[in-house]
A and B are shown apart, each in its own frame.
Chain A
Amino acid sequence: MNQSMNVDPQEIAKFEALASRWWDRNSEFKALHEINPLRANYIDQHSPVAGKRLVDVGCGGGILAESMAQRGATVTGIDMGEAPLSVAQLHGLESGVEVNYLQSTAEQLAEREAGNYDIVCCLEMLEHVPDPASVIAACAALAQPGGSLYFSTINRNPKAYLFAIVGAEHILQLLPAGTHEYAKFIKPSELAGWIRKAGLALADMTGLIYNPLTKHYRLNPKDVSVNYMVRAVKPA
């Protein structure tokens, strides 16, 4: 693997090992399945995706990519993990949902396909790479002028540590232990800074809240203290 690539081999290995269970709703990916309709509808509501070209950066097993294709988008999914990509491709054959999967970093794809996408999504991925700012810059390059970009990650504060690591991984066991590393979490101010530096305008921000009593996730624009998602726009 190219030393200069913005990839953490340990992170890739982690998801390689879990790949076969990616579409099992009762597996380590349960939480991802449960939040997906919320993410997908959030994106579809702000940038109706039907008939649009959309790239999903860090697509993993293709959960978001397929749901965007189901909503009518022409989707490209990229990831650096070989096993998740094979799982995504196999699942596509089974579901009949068409997505074009490529093994690529955002930076590599941006070199070839700059300005090629109406919508760029990079969800639950930035906290797994060594240089998030570089990914965001590459995403900005992939978007066409006027296009929309979506980023989601986990905030870095004691509450996020408590909820996303202690709560989600150890108490509720919504995620496998070791999924997240606190130091890699990203404060909204940091994300906003990288977005601005990439020449994008921050348009909207919302939190994603889990209620352990009702076992439902919901979006709450007023609470970005743990999981949160932003929409950015590339100036036309």
Chain B
Amino acid sequence: MTMSINRDIVIAGGGMVGVSLALHLGVVLPADTTILLVEGFPFPGVVDGGRPDYHPAFDARSTALSYSSRLIYEKMQVWEDLQQWLCAIDSIHVSNRGHFGSTLLNADEYDWPALGYVVENAWLGKALIQSLYRQGRVEVRSPAKVVAAAAAGTGISLQLQGEGETAIDTALLLVADGANSGLRDQLGVAVTEKPYDQHALVANVASAESHRGCAYERFSDDGPLALLPLLPAAGGEHRSALVWTLPPEHAQHLQTCPEQEFLQTLQERFGYRLGRLLQVGERHNYPLSLIQSTEQVRQGLVVMGNAAHTLHPVAGQGYNLALRDVAELGNLLAEGMAAGERLGDLATLQRYQQRQQPDQDRTINFSDRVPALFMRTDPLLGLGRDLALAGLDIIPGLKREFVRQAAGVAAMRGQHG
């Protein structure tokens, strides 16, 4: 019989959200709180002075980090490590195929350091794991998997697969194992899913000219296209991250067609603002849907990240929302513990849900409206759409600024017929 060993907190899932959660809890919770992170992919070992190897779970995709994410990562002391991998978005250029006129938003006009930051997930993952090792606060089990969880007493009894103990009792289980969370399903937490009947084609693209820190958003009849600025490749090539929303058949074709055909099609759609498009990296293609778990908290349980809400990626809001959830949960757990509440107490967790609900609602509704807005003939009338792709926060202060901007732009367009 396996002995049951207790951990205060178990995080199931060591993706970007799971590691961020571990880091944040490591910072805000008392030092004697035991935290275990369980990840199915093997984490890199510690090599040359704490620098981890490449993490295989992080693919070629990029993430646009908003200002709120920057603040959160600064607090976790990740930002400094991350900076070398970030490409700042200094301006956003919005245009519509077949229409004249375009909008340019500049960070300078708002006295902001940047409108957002684009980072390749591979580097983000690397910086996060490096910080986790340096913090040295969280126990990591990988490759290992939480295969079953059951409420027991005031905590949760877990069954693990992988080397080491197979039975662990924890006061608080944080489920962060992604959109298709097996653990969430095993716990009987249902999801609602709304398919968008669109696919996202994601790839890195090399161009003849530099993006000069500009994020491009181009609208066309069959879907929006975004090119987010990336740091130059090792060989100095100018690169952008493409997020292209397309009808499923079209996306599938473009994923597998020869490179020249792909570049030609993209060039026709996008135009020559980046000069000639020279090269495309590995192309990913996935169906888009809004997935929401029907419950996020139970006694001793919180569902986090994509397991809780998977958003339309074109809006670039999902990861930033997940990080705000992480920050809020950590803060409320710390407050609750300081006030003498038991870790995993439903009252604390319900406070978390109440606190995050308005932000989640706002962000989810915004992301959900984006695909529909994209289909309208005059995209400049779509309120707030121009900030959608850059991972800009829609937190109230920033949103007001942008709504004003968008409204101004719309009015201007009206004058010109």
Q: Which residues of A contact B (CB under 8 A)?
A: 25, 33-34, 37, 40-41, 44-45, 48, 50-51, 66-67, 70-72, 95, 97, 214, 216, 218
Q: Is the CB of A48 within 8 A of B192?
A: no
B-side contacts of A37, CB under 8 Å: 294-295, 298
Measured in the bound complex, the distance between the Cα atoms of B264 and A227 in whole Å is 60
Tell me how far the C-beta of B178 lies from the nearest C-beta in chain A, rounded to whole angstroms: 21
Q: Is the CB of B350 within 8 A of A48?
A: no
A-side contacts of B153, CB under 8 Å: 50-51, 72
B-side contacts of A214, CB under 8 Å: 361
Q: Please pick, from B152, B192, B295, B357, the residue contacting A72 in the complex, using a CB distance under 8 A.
A: B152
Q: Please pick, from B154, B188, B357, the residue contacting A48 in the complex, using a CB distance under 8 A.
A: B154
For B135-153 the 0/1 string (1 means CB < 8 A from A) is 0000000000000001111
Given contacts A25-B190, A41-B297, A41-B298, contact A50 B350 (CB under 8 A): no
Interface size band for B: 20 to 34
Tell me how far the C-beta of A185 lies from the nearest C-beta in chain B, rounded to whole angstroms: 27
Q: Is the CB of B151 within 8 A of A41?
A: no
Tell me the nearest residue of chain B to A73, going by C-beta. B151
Q: Is the CB of A45 within 8 A of B188?
A: no
For B344-355 the 0/1 string (1 means CB < 8 A from A) is 001100100010
Q: Is the CB of A72 within 8 A of B151?
A: yes
For B177-194 the 0/1 string (1 means CB < 8 A from A) is 000000000011010100
Asked if B245 lies at the interface with its beta carbon under 8 angstroms from chain A, I say no
Q: Which residues of B contact A (CB under 8 A)?
A: 150-154, 187-188, 190, 192, 294-295, 297-299, 346-347, 350, 354, 357, 361
Tell me the nearest residue of chain B to A72, going by C-beta. B151
Task: Please count the residue pairs between chain A and chain B whose beta carbons lie under 8 angstroms apart in the complex.
Answer: 51
Q: Please pick, from A33, A34, A48, A218, the residue contacting B299 in the complex, using a CB distance under 8 A.
A: A48
Q: Is the interface of B mostly helix, strand, loop or mixed?
A: mixed
Q: Is the CB of A45 within 8 A of B154?
A: no
Q: What 12 new A-B contacts, CB under 8 Å, besides A37-B295, A44-B346? A: A41-B295, A41-B350, A45-B347, A48-B299, A50-B151, A50-B152, A70-B187, A72-B151, A97-B188, A216-B357, A216-B361, A218-B354
Tell me how far the C-beta of A174 lies from the nearest C-beta in chain B, rounded to whole angstroms: 15
B-side contacts of A44, CB under 8 Å: 298-299, 346
A-side contacts of B188, CB under 8 Å: 66-67, 70, 95, 97
Instruction: List 21 A–B pairs whose Cβ atoms lie within 8 Å, in order of A's numbering.
Output: A25-B190, A33-B190, A33-B294, A34-B294, A37-B295, A40-B298, A41-B295, A41-B298, A41-B299, A44-B346, A45-B299, A48-B154, A50-B151, A50-B153, A70-B298, A71-B151, A72-B151, A72-B152, A95-B188, A214-B361, A218-B354
